[in-house]
Structure 1
Amino acid sequence: MSEVNSQYIIKKLKEWALLNYGAPEESVNVFSVNRLSNGYWNARCSFIYNNEEKRFSVSLDSNGEIVSYSDLSKTGSGDMGSAPTMILIAEVFSIIALIGLVLSLVAVLIAGTASITNVTPAGTTTVSAFSSVIGIIVVAVVIMLVISVYILSRILKIRKYILAGDAVSALSEDSVGLGVLALIFNGIIAGILLLLARDDLRRASQ
């Protein structure tokens, strides 16, 4: 089997356009090829069919086989039901969760850098309040912060696909795993909305 890379994906798209629409390979313009985080590929192409420009978003699996496609000239965010609204709300709650984590980190760091002054008959001593427990808390909050930023970046990418009318790519990006992570790190509401949006995106991508 050939190595699956961007050139292989372009070749598969041109073969698909020729087989399904009779478009000569040299007339097919593949203007976007992206490998998704789940190993799948998303590519966009355009060509002339019946004197009309056709633009497609094509989803391919990790082996480079086409699994679904959508006509970008016909698909809009209005065809995706409540998904655009749910993703937008999930984005807002994710930003709120991110701000909360940043404030928590700042508060822990301030508490850790504070000092405690002890006055005893032997004299006055100053002891740092920073302890191994606070250090563990800081590390945990930083890890949560990094994961939360990652989830938000994925949500922003989903919104970008939705605004472009690309339900297939939005569905590929809005995975069940992302929804579960959002439930844990970005709040229950954000996670539930991401999972619910999958149904509308799935219908729009069929």
Structure 2
Amino acid sequence: MNSQYIIKKLKEWALLNYGAPEESVNVFSVNRLSNGYWNARCSFIYNNEEKRFSVSLDSNGEIVSYSDLSKTGSGDMGSAPTMILIAEVFSIIALIGLVLSLVAVLIAGTASITNVTPAGTTTVSAFSSVIGIIVVAVVIMLVISVYILSRILKIRKYILAGDAVSALSEDSVGLGVLALIFNGIIAGILLLLARDDLRRASQ
């Protein structure tokens, strides 16, 4: 499945629901989301008025939800915009904390894993393997934390654009659970709580 198939499905949907001829439908955005779903945006004239829609499609290309962008704004999303903003702040703090932890471990490791023998030669102590494991673990946590923050930034972008449907698709339960583990309890809880307001706004 590719973007051309999504465009075709979108034009068929506009024709079926609004009687808009396929050639009059302008599909100006097609994106594949991280959860395998698709989000597409289109515009067309209906009753002498331009209609702009954000449409969500599942991994099979079937339309699962849509929202009228002319009616949906960040103000309709309750406290979701604020919660996502706070989650972003706490995620950045967690990211900074992981970076500082990595630097501290590397400094401490460099100072403690080598020993100088009386003969003047340098040997690596057994503690080096422990330091190595800690460094690898912190790097993995850092990568996951960056991934979570990038998803949160996408959610905020959709909210600012008034696209509650795409924001809800991006703010998955799995993302909230990951944030609970790697970006702090507050960030994870806020992501999960924001789903209710986003769901209401997308209906």
Q: TM-score range by the shorter chain?
A: over 0.9
Structure 1 residue 125 displacement after superposition = 7.1
> What is the TM-score with the length of structure 1 in the denominator?
0.93
Sequence identity percentage: 100
- CA distance in 1 between counterparts of 2:151 and 2:127 reads 35
Deviations, residues 94-145 of structure 1 (Å, cap 9, x unaligned): 0000000000000001111115897998889776696100000000000000
Return closer, same or farther for 1:159/1:110 CA change in 2, 3 Å cut-off: same
Structure 1 residue 204 displacement after superposition = 0.4
Return closer, same or farther for 1:115/1:77 CA change in 2, 3 Å cut-off: same
Return closer, same or farther for 1:116/1:181 CA change in 2, 3 Å cut-off: closer
Q: Which residue of 2 aligns with 1:69?
A: 66
Return closer, same or farther for 1:126/1:53 CA change in 2, 3 Å cut-off: same
Return closer, same or farther for 1:197/1:123 CA change in 2, 3 Å cut-off: closer
- The one of 78, 81, 93 aligned to 2:78: 81
Structure 1 window deviating more from structure 2 (116-125 vs 71-80): it is 116-125
Residues 115 and 127 in structure 1, CA contact (< 8 A), matched pair in contact too: no
- CA distance in 1 between counterparts of 2:200 and 2:40 reads 20
Equivalent positions of 1:1-206 (< 5 A) are: 4-115=1-112, 131-206=128-203
Residues 11 and 25 in structure 2, CA contact (< 8 A), matched pair in contact too: yes
Question: Structure 2: 5+ residue runs without aligned partners?
Answer: none
Return closer, same or farther for 1:120/1:113 CA change in 2, 3 Å cut-off: closer
Return closer, same or farther for 1:120/1:57 CA change in 2, 3 Å cut-off: closer
Give the 4+ runs in structure 1 shifted more than 3 A.
Answer: 115-130
Residues 180 and 187 in structure 2, CA contact (< 8 A), matched pair in contact too: yes
> What is the TM-score with the length of structure 2 in the denominator?
0.94
Structure 1 residue 165 displacement after superposition = 0.3
Residues 28 and 42 in structure 2, CA contact (< 8 A), matched pair in contact too: yes
Q: Tell me the SS of whatever aligns to 1:140.
A: helix
Structure 1 residue 39 displacement after superposition = 1.0
Structure 1 window deviating more from structure 2 (159-168 vs 29-38): it is 29-38
Deviations, residues 11-68 of structure 1 (Å, cap 9, x unaligned): 0000110111111100100011111111111000011111211110000011101010
Question: Structure 1: 5+ residue runs without aligned partners?
Answer: none
Return closer, same or farther for 1:123/1:19 CA change in 2, 3 Å cut-off: closer
Return closer, same or farther for 1:26/1:115 CA change in 2, 3 Å cut-off: same
Q: Tell me the SS of whatever aligns to 2:59.
A: coil
Structure 1 window deviating more from structure 2 (114-123 vs 156-165): it is 114-123
Return closer, same or farther for 1:165/1:114 CA change in 2, 3 Å cut-off: same
Residues 42 and 60 in structure 1, CA contact (< 8 A), matched pair in contact too: yes
Residues 151 and 182 in structure 1, CA contact (< 8 A), matched pair in contact too: yes
Residues 45 and 55 in structure 1, CA contact (< 8 A), matched pair in contact too: yes
Structure 1 residue 175 displacement after superposition = 0.2
Residues 113 and 129 in structure 1, CA contact (< 8 A), matched pair in contact too: no
Residues 117 and 123 in structure 2, CA contact (< 8 A), matched pair in contact too: no
Considering only aligned residues, what root-mean-square deviation do their CA atoms show, in Å?
2.1
Structure 1 window deviating more from structure 2 (120-129 vs 61-70): it is 120-129
Structure 1 residue 5 displacement after superposition = 1.5
Return closer, same or farther for 1:169/1:124 CA change in 2, 3 Å cut-off: closer
